[in-house]
């Protein structure tokens, strides 16, 4: 059986792809799923959807702002800050468990609001993991929501630069006098 260069390259790429995907297969997804649910619930608490029939706006969860925050942390923050964020996320869930006996995602809306208000009031200039997580997550969720397709097409309609021109001075013909 002779192997051509093309067959050898194809097999090499298949093996390389398997090696790249192998670490993801052994990952513990229970903790990942709980963290994902917590981030969704927190985004929904920070920027909730419209609560009345007249207010039909989508919230941060529906706009995917929590996914933007997670992607920004994973792709743009240094490893040390990523670890601090994850420790803060664990501390956030731990605080919900100690106060209500369940993770943040399983709390009712009143419990979520109370916990978020208490943490928001206490973070200030603190540098601990919980404060870092809460502050960064809140900023990134807001940035993700304000940059979402939903917000820029339905709430604050974005127009490409230079946008519309609205002249403010009427054009009036003036006669030029010659001297």
Confidence class for position 20, pLDDT limits 50, 70, 90: low
pLDDT digits (tens, 9 = 90+) for 45-88: 999 998 555 678 889 999 999 999 999 999 999 999 999 999 99
Distances (CA, A) of 111 to 104, 118, 136: 8, 11, 22
pLDDT digits (tens, 9 = 90+) for 137-168: 999 999 999 999 998 888 888 777 777 777 77
pTM of the entire predicted model: 0.71
Q: With 80 as the cut, is the pLDDT of residue 116 above it?
A: yes
Phi, psi of 86 (to 5 degrees): -65, -40
d(CA 123, CA 105): 21
């Amino acid at each position: 059986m002779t192997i051509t260069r093309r067959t050898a390259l194809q097999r090499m790429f298949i093996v390389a792809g398997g090696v790249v995907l192998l670490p993801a297969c052994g990952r513990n997804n229970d903790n990942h799923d709980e963290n994902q649910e917590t981030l969704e619930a927190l985004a929904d608490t920070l920027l909730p959807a419209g609560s009345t029939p007249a207010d039909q706006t989508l919230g941060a969860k529906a706009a995917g702002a929590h996914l933007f925050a997670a992607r920004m942390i994973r792709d743009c923050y240094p490893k040390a800050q990523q670890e601090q964020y994850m420790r803060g996320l664990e501390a956030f869930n731990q605080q919900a468990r100690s106060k209500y006996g369940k993770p943040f995602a399983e709390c009712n809306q009143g419990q979520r609001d109370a916990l978020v208000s208490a943490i928001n009031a206490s973070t200030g200039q603190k540098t601990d993991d919980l404060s870092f997580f809460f502050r960064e997550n809140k900023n990134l969720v807001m940035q993700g929501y304000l940059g979402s397709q939903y917000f820029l097409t339905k709430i604050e309609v974005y127009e490409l630069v230079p946008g519309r021109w609205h002249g403010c001075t009427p054009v009036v013909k003036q006669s030029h006098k010659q001297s």
